[in-house]
Amino acid sequence: MFNHQKYEKQYFLPPTLSYDWVKKETVEKAPTWCSVDLRDGNQALPIPMNLEEKLAMFQLLVDIGFKEIEVGFPAASETEFKLLRTLIDNHMIPDDVTIMVITQAREHIIRKTFEAVQGVPKAIVHLYNSTSEVQRRQVFQKSKEEIKQIAIDGAVLVKELAEQTEGDFSFQYSPESFPGTEVDYALDICNSVLDIWQPTPDHKVIINIPTTVENAMPHIYASQIEYIHKNLLYRDSVTLSIHPHNDRGCGVSDAEFGVLAGAERVEGTLFGIGERTGNVDLITLAMNMYSHGYDPKLNFSNLNAIRKQYEMLTRTAVHERQPYSGDLVFTAFSGSHQDAISKGMKYREENNVEKWDVPYIPIDPVDVGRNYQTDVIRINSQSGKGGVGYMLETNYGIKLPYKMNEAMGYATKKVSDEMNKELSAEEIYQVFKENYIDYHPYFELADYHFNKGTGKEVTLSILTDGKQIEMYGEGAGSLDAISNALKDYFDFDYALEVYEQHSLGKDSSAEACAQIGISHYGEIYWGAGIHEDITAASVYALVVAVNRLEDALVSQREIVK
């Protein structure tokens, strides 16, 4: 039964509520990024990664630029324990990368964790225990003091074992289920752990505030983080970290607001893949910074390749509308969007614009390894003239006059609608070819030659009804002469309304494309021609336009009958 009355808010406001973070405009400096793909991300997979896949994922994260990587829960499974030993024993951890391992505040798990990290160059030991009111009451059936003592005992043991184990260790503590924990109580636990670990500015401790289950709006989380930030002990010796989940779909907002509120470090995953509804997507966070002109300190210049490797390693498909990385995030099908994008791209080229400000596309797709020709504008029955014209120009160099572009848009939309599919660039060109280059239902051009000298008199041969007909015409120029010959033969009149031509390449051997529009009682009929000789291209275009006019007149006569 869909009954909202069975729910009530499950979060706690800080004792003193402030909103200083609201005064900040955007995230200008990259936080320390910590990938938890090998732990939190792996826990989300129906089929967890095996050792080889985990090693490949670790290398992918290193290549992207992560300096802190949580590699797993070594006490949880043999595979995760082996991963730690493989990385350490084979010297696979770069000098500038710190791995992190997570452990519950339970003695046997802490001891197993230190067995796994024996001899590590640098590692963060991440200690946590659940602190929420609902878990204290329902799961542990313990008081606040008893739960706090679990954290203190764990912190003591972690410190002792770190002193006895070969390796360079730093510590992290998380009050798990923080959103359901009284904020001042969570702060008290964190400060009690800090008292055990005694951090210094040269040997900092990480206090990580997880949105284990997102149950409040982002501004509430930001205010909670601001309270922690302002009231932590040893503040100059603590890195304040956040770990947003996405239960309400606000993980990105939680993270960005949390950084504005004082957090200096963010834990998350690529593409937001994590247990239940997922972790915050670090790609989205980093690219949001990038889109504002700030260096995120992570390299997503080949995001397509990253996504494909990630999907292969995790057997998880990234949604086609996933911000920045989905297949269709730079793609416009809507006609009005396509028209604006096409004009924006043309404006950039014509005005040599340095800063990116193309309508509907927040970042340059090329920056993340995407392609204008295949990614930006794609054509289906929702598309319009702008998109069709863009596809022809970017893929084939064909620049259509405005009104012809409109007619071509309708022709393409009709084909897409009838086929109920998206059209490729090749299929769009085929529509153009069939409608405006090879359209000869009534006659075809067989031959023509101009009388020597003037170039204003022409002898023209056409094929119609299986016969070859010769005709003669003269005019102010070569095209006018051919036009007059056709007018005399077909006994109708029209005006040469539009005539445009351009090269399809930059060298002298490139073919030319001509477009001609002839008007008859207010209607324009279009033809196009492609040939290495511009005069020939123009003649072919005129022949198609006249065929289209004759087609319209025949249809009108049929209606009259």
| Structural element, H or E, at residue 87 | helix 78-89
Measured distance CA(544)–CA(407) in Å, rounded = 14
Nearest in space to 546 (alpha carbons), one of 476, 465, 442 = 442
Is 556's pLDDT higher than 90? no
CA distance 314 to 442: 60
Task: List the 495-503 sheet strands across, edge first.
Answer: 495-503, 512-520, 523-531
Q: Burial of 402 by CB count in 10 Å (0-12 exposed, 13-18 middle, 19+ buried)? A: exposed
- Strands (E) in 264-367, as ranges, are 265-268
Please report the pLDDT score of residue 316 as a whole number.
Answer: 95
HEC string of 253-280 equals HHHHHHHHCCCCEEEEEHHHCCCCCCEC
The 8-class DSSP code of residue 451 comes to P
Which tokens sit at 414?
A: 């009709």
Q: What is the CATH number of domain 30-314?
A: 3.20.20.70
Question: How buried is residue 187: exposed, middle or buried, by Cβ count under 10 Å (0-12/13-18/19+)?
Answer: buried
In terms of Cβ atoms closer than 10 Å to its own Cβ (0-12, 13-18, 19+), residue 1 is exposed
CA-closest candidate to residue 247, choices 277, 274, 206, 224: 277
395 token code pair: 């893929």
Residue 170 confidence (pLDDT): 98
Amino acid identity of residue 460, one-letter, is L
pLDDT reported for residue 375: 67
CA 116, 173, 207 angle in degrees (round to 5)?
A: 130
Residue 378: band (very low, low, confident or very high) from pLDDT cuts 50, 70, 90: low
**Could you give the 3-state DSSP secondary structure of residue 122?**
strand
Phi, psi for 147 (deg, rounded to 5):
-65, -40
Q: If DSSP codes are grouped into helix, strand and coil, which group holds residue 204?
A: coil
- In terms of DSSP bridges, do strands 32-35 and 523-531 run parallel, antiparallel, or are they unpaired? unpaired
The answer to whether residue 230 scores a pLDDT higher than 70 is yes
Residues 479-502: pLDDT tens digits? Answer: 899 999 999 988 888 999 999 999
Question: Looking at domain 444-560, which CATH architecture does it have?
Answer: 2-Layer Sandwich (3.30)
Strand arrangement of the beta sheet that strand 457-464 belongs to: 444-450, 457-464, 467-474
Highest averaged pLDDT of the listed ranges 240-249, 326-335, 456-465, 550-559: 240-249
Written as six digits, the tokens of 114 are 């230190």
- pLDDT confidence of residue 79: 92
Check residue 381 and give its pLDDT: 59
**pLDDT of amino acid 457:** 86
Tokens at 44, concatenated: 């989300």
pLDDT higher for 25 or 456? 25
Question: Which letter does DSSP use for residue 362 in this model?
Answer: S
pLDDT at 13 over 90: yes
Mean pLDDT, range 369-384, rounded to an integer: 70
Contact (CB, 8 A) for 131 and 186: yes
pLDDT, average across residues 332-347: 80
What's the confidence (pLDDT) of residue 508? 63
Strand spans (E) along 481-539: 495-503, 512-520, 523-531
3-state secondary structure of 291: helix
Cα–Cα distance list, 269 to 33, 85, 210, 317, 452 (Å):
10, 23, 14, 14, 75
For residue range 399-453, what is the model confidence (pLDDT) as tens digits? 999 899 889 988 988 888 888 888 888 999 999 999 999 999 999 999 988 876 6
String of DSSP letters for 366-385: GGGT--IIIIIB-BSTT--H
- Using CA atoms, how far residue 100 sits from 64, 70, 125, 146, 489, in Å, is 17, 4, 6, 27, 85
Are 283 and 303 within 8 A, CB to CB? yes
Distances (CA, A) of 95 to 120, 244, 255, 297, 354: 11, 28, 28, 17, 37
> Above pLDDT 90, what percent of the chain?
73
**Sequence spans of domains, the chain:** 30-314, 335-429, 444-560
pLDDT, one tens digit per residue, over 68-110 is 999 999 998 899 999 999 999 999 999 999 999 999 999 999 9
| Residue 377, pLDDT score | 66
- Reply yes or no on whether the pLDDT at 17 is more than 70: yes
The contacts of residue 354 (CB under 8 Å, 6+ apart) are: none
pLDDT band at 379 (very low <50, low <70, confident <90, very high): low
The tokens of 172 are what?
């992290």
Q: Looking at residue 387, what is its pLDDT?
A: 79
Indicate the range of 71-80, 202-211, 385-394 predicted with least confidence: 385-394
pLDDT, position 560: 64
Q: Return the pLDDT at 561.
A: 58
Residues 255-286 have pLDDT tens digits of 999 999 999 999 999 999 998 899 999 999 99
Tokens of 118: 């024996």
Q: Kindly provide the b/e burial profile for residues 260-295, where b requires at least 16 CB atoms within 10 angstroms of the residue's own CB.
A: bbbbbbbbbbbbbbbbeebbbbbbbbbbbbbbeeee
Residue whose structure tokens are 């992570």: 298
Q: Name the strand (E) or helix (H) holding 392.
A: helix 385-396
- The rounded distance, in Å, linking the Cα atoms of 458 and 471 is 8
What is residue 419's predicted lDDT score, i.e. its pLDDT? 86
Tokens of residue 478, six digits: 């070569």
Residue 151 amino acid letter: A
